[in-house]
Amino acid sequence: MTLGLSTAGESHGPALVAILTGLPAGLVLDRAAIDADLRRRQQGYGRSPRQQIETDEVEVLAGLRHGRTLGTPLALVVRNRDHKNWTWGMNPWPPEGEATGKGTKPVTLPRPGHADLAGVLKYGHADVRDALERASARHTAVHVAAGAVAKALLAQLGISVEGSVADEERLRRRVDEARAERDTVGGVVEVRARGVVPGLGTYAVKEERLDARLAAALMGIQAVKGVEVGDGFALAELKGSEAHDEIRPDRRRDTNRAGGIEAGVSNGEEIVVRAAMKPLPTLMKPLASVDLETGEPAQALVERSDVAAVEALAVVAEAAVAWELARAAKEKFGGDAVDDLVGGWRAYVERIGWSDTSR
């Protein structure tokens, strides 16, 4: 059984939820490790005051007993503490009594770059909030919780995954500048996975290529507009003799321009992927838009938001890569119990004679 991940939740609704299926039984989860990743995602330079309201923590409703997975669907919840300010505005049911708190007035000023305009046109909403709430990157919290579970599974196979910001100092300077100008910025993050054996993914079916899967996972994150694997776009400028990673007798490479993936299959080197995030679309100095109620030119919605969320993206991208690698590993090595999964992996490592799995 492959791994499955379904999520639900609006930014200012009661909670974010995730259901993870296909996890092997007997996987030990550490609540503190999951919460630590949730906290990492909340930090970062340029985040909005919303992060002072939220203290994200995972709750488990099903699939776990005494810290070990049961092999049944794992149900995770991350509550939105800010919901207390939106109990009328984001009530799942028709609210009773006087309209109080936030979200009581319809939003009619779509922000260029957010889901606002496409969302109301596509779904027939009268209030932009009906689109923006789900499109919000708040939703990434529960994906980070799922990623932490995936990392626990990958650790059993000697794999570690780490996301980082390419040039943190420069990013912080750009954030300061943008804040002073009441603007926003994006940036680039990198995720590296160590210890992946050759053979995850396949060239046989294009959707199952590991690079295609990682690219889809990263492009699925809010505000990501570009993805590259290894040296990616720079490879287009090189000659073939310069672009490829020569194979040593021990089957390892001295270079890693391919980013650990050739023909959609992991090759045993570090997996290296990057994601480019556009500047966030909620601007304190709004762009031109239209008032959807009157049809007149107007300025886009201005509301509390982040100046940048690039450091958060590094954590979210790490989770997305971890989930995808865990899914590919589960497909390759199988097993209903963790011991079966590890046994399948060991037998494979032995067959291909791959000794160094920790590099």
What residues make contact with ligand EPS under the rule CB under 6 A? 11, 48, 50, 54, 136-138, 141, 222, 282, 303-306
In whole angstroms, the minimum distance from the beta carbon of 113 to ligand EPS comes to 10
Residue 47 beta carbon to ligand EPS: minimum distance, rounded to whole angstroms: 7
Considering beta carbons, is residue 170 or 304 the nearer one to ligand EPS? 304
Residues with Cβ within 8 Å of residue 48, at least 6 apart in sequence: 304, 305, 306, 307
Shortest spacing between CB 217 and ligand EPS, in angstroms: 18
Kindly tell me which of 210 and 280 has the beta carbon lying closer to ligand EPS.
280
Q: Answer whether 343's CB lies under 8 Å from 335's CB.
A: yes
Whose Cβ is closer to ligand EPS: residue 69's or residue 305's? 305
Nearest distance in Å: CB 316, ligand EPS: 9
Min dist. Cβ of residue 195 to ligand EPS (A):
29
Decide whether 11 or 108 has the Cβ nearer to ligand EPS. Answer: 11
- Rounded distance, CA 332 to CA 208, Å? 12
Residue written as token pair 């090759």: 267
Closest of 14, 4, 177, 175 to residue 89, by C-alpha: 14
**Nearest distance from residue 114's CB to ligand EPS, in Å?**
6
DSSP 228: E
Nearer to ligand EPS, 137 or 165 (CB): 137
Give the number of C-alpha atoms closer than 13 A to the C-alpha of residue 149, restricted to the C-beta side: 30
Nearest to 44 by CA among 189, 225, 228: 189
Angle value at C-alpha 183, between 177 and 185, nearest 5 degrees: 75
> Which CB atom, from 68 or from 122, has the smaller least distance to ligand EPS?
122
Task: Give the residue ranges of DSSP H helices in the chain.
Answer: 31-42, 50-53, 116-123, 129-135, 140-155, 168-180, 210-219, 232-235, 240-243, 310-333, 338-352
3-state secondary structure of 190: strand
Task: Give the residue with the Cβ less far from ligand EPS, 145 or 229.
Answer: 145
- Helix, coil or strand: residue 117: helix
CA 180 to chain CA centroid, nearest Å: 29
Q: At its nearest, how many Å lie between ligand EPS and the CB of residue 45?
A: 14
Work out how close the CB of 190 gets to ligand EPS at its nearest, in angstroms, rounded to a whole number.
20
Return the number of the residue (64 or 280) whose C-beta is nearest ligand EPS.
280
